[in-house]
Amino acid sequence: DEARYRTLVEWSPGAIIVHRHGKIVYGNPAAVKLFGAESTQQMLGKPILDMVHPDCREITLERVRGVFEDGIAAELAELKYLKFDGSTMDVEVQGLRILFDGVPAVQVAICDITDRKLAEVKWRDLNFRLSEKTELLQTTLASISQGVLMIDGDGRVNTFNPRVCELLDLPASYLSQHPTVQEITRFQFERGDFCAGLNGLEATATELIVNGNYDGFPPNYVRKTPGGRTLEVETQALPSGGMVRT
């Protein structure tokens, strides 16, 4: 019954308003707080469109007409509403037709999503700036003569340049799968990259390979490729974890 309805709405933590013929006939305490009104009385009789941002008034009218004509709850929508002090807030709203004081009206449930929308904007801005930095890094890496592998804290390749693919004869498609350093070393060993008899490696690195220890390579070593090229490999640990290998 209506008494029970009013009790539930009054105690609801969500903002709820009821309007009829374009004017507010009820607002619960949460709505009073949300809109910054001094009391429920201040809201009563106020045109509903005065609470809606000008950019959203046309769609609001369409939604109200749809609720009255079809009698079906309007879908959840993101709109902009205005507080009593004139400030704008982003909200999610959903309306449905009800009987209020025995007369048809529209009930609107309102959720303030301003903080969420601000967070989304900050997240998009962060992604854009990260994308710019990533593009700059890739451009820089592509222009230098050294081969570069950037390894993350889990020991997996996360960035590399074309030169390292050329020097190590490793397909970019392979490195793009983010293999671990150990997987790369095993792949190279099984392919015969370390030359017959392992003469292409320094003694410390050779011992590790012979014993199947792909996880304990020295940070810096020299080896020869099957094609006769001499490679000097240097590793620099990163403060945040991971390493850069050139």
Strands (E), the chain: 15-20, 23-27, 77-82, 88-100, 103-112, 149-151, 157-160, 221-224, 230-233, 235-237, 243-245
Q: Which two tokens stand for residue 110?
A: 């309102």
Q: Name which of 172, 161, 130, 134 is nearest 244 in CA terms.
A: 161
Which pair of tokens denotes residue 215? 């996880």
Other C-beta atoms lying within 10 Å of the C-beta of residue 88: 13
Question: How far is Cα 69 from Cα 194, in angstroms, rounded to an integer?
Answer: 79
Instruction: Round to whole Å and give the CA distance between 164 and 33.
Output: 61
What are the DSSP calls for 148-215, one per residue?
-EEE-TTSBEEEE-HHHHHHHT--HHHHTT--BHHHHHHHHHHHTTT-GGGTTB-HHHHHHHHTT--S
| Side chain identity at residue 30, one-letter code | A
Q: Could you give the CA distance from residue 136 to residue 142 in angstroms, rounded to a whole number?
A: 10
Neighbours of 235 (CB within 10 A): 16
Collapsed DSSP state (helix, strand, coil) of residue 231: strand
One-letter amino acid at 166 equals E
Amino acid 198: pLDDT: 46
Q: What is the mean pLDDT of each run of 10 residues along the chain (246 residues)?
A: 70 87 92 92 93 93 85 85 93 89 89 86 76 68 76 84 83 88 80 58 54 56 75 80 80
Which pLDDT does position 134 carry in this prediction? 67
Sequence-ordered list of residues with C-beta below 8 angstroms from that of 88, at least 6 positions apart, any chain: 53, 80, 81, 82
232: its two tokens: 């000097």
235/233 Cα distance (integer angstroms): 7
Torsion sign (Cα): 70, 71, 75, 77: positive
Structure confidence at residue 85 (pLDDT): 93
Dihedrals phi, psi of 219, to nearest 5 degrees? -65, -30
Measured between alpha carbons, how far is 164 from 161 in angstroms, rounded to an integer? 6
